[in-house]
Amino acid sequence: MNAGLAESRENLALCFKGERTYLHGTDVYDAAVHCLRARWPGIEGRCRFAFHRVATRPLTVAIVGYGSGARPPGCVAEMHVTGGGPEATAWFTERAGAVAGRYPYDEDAVVRDCALLDREIAMEVPARARPIEALVAMTKRLHYSVAKPDRGRWMFVRLDLKRLLRDDDARGMRVRLIGEPRPTLSRADVAVRGEPLGAIYFAVVAA
């Protein structure tokens, strides 16, 4: 536990991804990792990342020592990295104003060459995408291949990995559904080149 570490705050300038009108979980994940590594370049360990609601306004991130205080009011997302060195938490809250800008993103291209078989999807040839983008796009494609919701959409809401994602993790990534996909919370296990990495969770959201 690093409860005594001083808090640092940063106003992020994340943009909308593609035609979305909310900030994408992949960009928030990468922002959390970037901020944590800017303070502790060698940070490693178990990663727990979760969304509490859709973020539609600019975000501010607070970096604190793991275990130092309760979740702040209005928190939209959080990341905790524990074990293996420095232990820290990133809290994300919305601030006043509007998200400035968007950038193109072709999610279909990320999973175009993936192999989909029953309840599993595999990426043998890595796409031109960040590992978190590959993981989320693969899991989304897998869910829609099994259960398309009548209302709302499948969205990435939680991640529980034994370590942070690495640059080459998209190569040989596999995602396998565990049980029947439930709209409230659906789990899929993640492996990279045969190494069990953890689990990713999706839920049906009205956004």
2-16, 96-110, 140-154, 180-194: range with lowest mean pLDDT = 2-16
| The two structure tokens encoding residue 84 | 């293996």
- pLDDT for 73 beyond 80: yes
Strand boundaries in the chain, DSSP class E: 8-11, 16-17, 46-51, 59-65, 75-82, 88-94, 102-103, 115-117, 120-123, 153-161, 173-178, 186-192, 195-205
Instruction: Pick the more confident residue, 2 or 29.
Output: 29
105-156 pLDDT, tens digit each: 999 999 998 999 889 999 987 778 999 999 999 999 999 999 989 899 999 9
Cβ atoms of 17 and 29 closer than 8 Å: no
- CA-based nearest residue to 36, from 76, 65, 72: 65
Residue given tokens 């209302």 in the structure block: 151
Please tell me the pTM assigned to this model.
Answer: 0.93
16-69 pLDDT, tens digit each: 999 999 999 999 999 999 999 998 888 889 999 999 999 999 999 999 999 887
